[in-house]
Structure 1
């Protein structure tokens, strides 16, 4: 468990914990609303905050939880803007992972990759390094996956490692059939 060393570190930690509202696959649109009202827990071996650069770094088996949202990584680095709001977050691991329940019926979104980059200004999440994303039974695999939280678009590419793989469950295939006909 991290130890809070001073008020500056505490402020950096609190600002970084705001990432839990944005790092999830689609928390602004689809996640359980009560997640934002749940307490946030963070565990790591070490935490540092640089007030001049606005960079907060967590290292050593980092686990952040808020409601149904869970983020796990070897390290998480958060960059704050001039207003002390999250600008970007980078989670790294072998792999870095996140998951969140999307609705009260139990649908869970999961993602992983060696790197998970979240840009708070654009609402874009990039998973890279053997990336995987699953939501409502559909799965996406590729070297790189990009998800736009505002548009709901997913882009997948195989990079130098080759092709991508997308699996669409039968229920989604039926829903798409009416659109194509």
Structure 2
């Protein structure tokens, strides 16, 4: 295995270890799969670029985009991965008793050290039928805190001056009984 391939594998393994705050316990023990039409690895600058229907999976986690760029710090630690798509997509099951969290945006960035996902342009998070939409959504996966609003100085294709939420009501009938 070449140095570049080992480096990317190490970067992806680092991603898997740091994203486990919201993952099912079994996810961390699952292999990481990367599929793409092409890959460009730049060891000197710590950048890997995957292009063409990119799919990254590990357990319940899935990230897709037409281009995914993974960067490393000078010390070799995974720094940021950026998925571009129409839209880019992220999903993960946070716990056995929770439904999958889905996130969409034209640009999706995962900041490993901060356990933070940033969704920019046509940003949307969906869980259990409830939705959260805006120009920009920042999701702290460790503390499970969402901040949303305008994208600031970042250009967007569909301006949204306000955030939009739809919260589904909890079922009022006891489990196992039909109303």
Measured against the shorter chain, the TM-score band is 0.7 to 0.9
Alignment of 1:109-124 (within 5 A): 109-124=101-116
Give the counterpart of 1:85 among 68, 77, 80. Answer: 77
Q: Name whichever structure is richer in helix by fraction.
A: 1
Q: Deviations over 1:102-152 (max 9, x none)?
A: 222351110010001111122221101101102344321111101112322
Unaligned runs of 5+ in 1: 1-5, 173-181
Match of 1:12 in 2: 7
Give me the whole-angstrom Cα distance separating, in 1, the residues matched to 2:145 and 2:64.
24
Q: Is the 8 A contact 1:114 1:131 kept in 2?
A: yes
Give me the whole-angstrom Cα distance separating, in 2, the residues matched to 1:137 and 1:93.
23
Match of 1:179 in 2: none
Give the counterpart of 2:91 among 92, 99, 110. Answer: 99
Match of 1:55 in 2: 47
Q: TM-score, normalised by structure 1?
A: 0.81
Give the counterpart of 1:30 among 22, 27, 38. Answer: 22
Q: Is the 8 A contact 2:68 2:83 kept in 1?
A: yes
- Secondary structure of the 1:71 match is strand
Give me the whole-angstrom Cα distance separating, in 2, the residues matched to 1:118 and 1:94.
17
- Secondary structure of the 1:171 match is coil
Distance 1:15 1:75, change over 3 A: farther
Match of 1:170 in 2: 169
Q: Size of the alignment, in residue pairs?
A: 163
Give me the whole-angstrom Cα distance separating, in 2, the residues matched to 1:104 and 1:120.
23
- Secondary structure of the 1:102 match is coil
Residue 9 of structure 1 and its aligned partner are, at CA, apart by: 2.7
Over aligned residues, Cα RMSD in angstroms? 1.9
Match of 1:176 in 2: none
- Secondary structure of the 1:28 match is helix
